[in-house]
């Protein structure tokens, strides 16, 4: 039995990587997926691939850093479906490494990272909440945080700041919305093979990406990077009734990184 039959799911940054894998998995589980991405062509490609595989999806172009775009995205979901069962706030960027101290970040870059990683998730959740309340107790809010939102990141204090903020936003919403039957959880990935991986390790000019990657991977007990599909599997679980008694959880998807 498909766990998300008859449900509507909205996923941001779903045009590639973990977002795409989650969109494809949600559709395979029976959901109609709204594939939102800054790159409209990528979103269309994912939606078309889902349809070709027998699933149901639609593409939406959305810059999550633009408040008007977030409002328009939710308005489109409301017009098309009138309800939202799963909101997956996946969009995020690594940002600058911040120099030797990790703090050498220009104000405009600081603001951009906070806008994409935190503000977008806060306000998209706010705008989507009326539709989640129509889900008859099946509403599920997911966030992509990071292991760097649970333990400090020597590579980027700013990234940890934003991902730690997401974890506490998630927990706060779990407490506030739980009585309404709306669950709130976060996934905390470590090293995942996505297009953003090289950007994450290459934030500092002259960084040895292979060396940084090797050092990070050596700290993972399973001794490898994760696949986007492994993140998607965890997301599908949290979105479904299999996790009906799970809320307020920051779930590591990290190959054992946080076990040390």
Q: How far apart are CA 213 and CA 233, in angstroms?
A: 24
CA distances for 85 relative to 6, 11, 144, angstroms: 9, 11, 17
Which structure tokens are listed for 174?
């779990």
Place of tokens 């990077």: 225
Q: How far apart are CA 19 and CA 36, in angstroms?
A: 9
- Edge-first strand order for the sheet with 86-89 is 56-61, 32-37, 8-11, 86-89, 140-144, 183-189, 250-253
pLDDT at 199: 58
pLDDT at 253: 97
pLDDT at 95: 79
pLDDT at 100: 73
pLDDT at 256: 95
For the entire predicted model, the pTM comes to 0.92
Q: Could you say which residues of the chain have pLDDT below 50?
A: none
CA distances for 156 relative to 1, 103, 104, 245, angstroms: 42, 8, 10, 34
Q: How far apart are CA 18 and CA 227, in angstroms?
A: 8
Residue numbers annotated as active site? 159
pLDDT at 212: 63
The pLDDT tens digits of the residues spanning 142-189 come to 999 999 999 998 778 999 999 999 999 999 999 999 999 999 999 999
pLDDT at 194: 72
pLDDT at 208: 55
Q: How far apart are CA 8 and CA 30, in angstroms?
A: 9
Which DSSP letter does residue 146 get? -
pLDDT at 201: 52
Contacts of 8 by beta carbon, 8 Å cutoff, 6+ apart: 31, 32, 34, 77, 81, 83, 84, 85, 86
* Residue among 81, 73, 124, 68 at smallest CA distance from 144: 124
pLDDT at 218: 79
Start-to-end Cα distance in the chain: 37
Q: How far apart are CA 53 and CA 27, in angstroms?
A: 9
């Amino acid at each position: 039995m498909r766990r998300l039959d008859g449900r509507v799911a909205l996923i941001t940054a779903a045009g590639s990587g973990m977002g795409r894998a989650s969109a494809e998995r949600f559709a395979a589980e029976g959901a109609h997926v709204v594939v939102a991405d800054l790159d409209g062509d990528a979103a269309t490609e994912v939606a078309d691939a889902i349809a070709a595989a027998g699933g149901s999806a639609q593409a939406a172009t959305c810059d999550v850093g633009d408040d008007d775009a977030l409002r328009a995205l939710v308005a489109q979901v409301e017009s098309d479906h009138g309800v939202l069962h799963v909101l997956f706030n996946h969009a995020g960027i690594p940002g600058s490494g911040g120099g030797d101290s990790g703090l050498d970040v220009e104000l405009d870059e600081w603001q951009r990272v906070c806008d994409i990683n935190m503000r977008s998730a806060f306000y998209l959740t706010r705008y989507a909440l009326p539709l989640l309340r129509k889900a008859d107790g099946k509403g599920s809010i997911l966030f992509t945080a990071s292991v760097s939102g649970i333990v400090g990141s020597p590579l980027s204090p700013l990234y940890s700041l934003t991902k730690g903020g997401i974890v506490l936003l998630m927990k706060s919403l779990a407490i506030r919305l739980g009585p309404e039957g709306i669950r709130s959880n976060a996934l905390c990935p470590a090293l995942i093979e996505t297009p953003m991986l090289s950007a994450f390790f290459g934030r500092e000019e002259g960084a040895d990406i292979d060396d940084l990657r090797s050092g990070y991977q050596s700290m993972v007990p399973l001794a490898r990077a994760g696949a986007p599909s492994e993140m998607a599997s965890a997301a599908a679980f949290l979105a479904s009734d299999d996790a009906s008694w799970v809320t307020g959880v920051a779930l590591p998807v990290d190959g054992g990184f946080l076990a040390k």
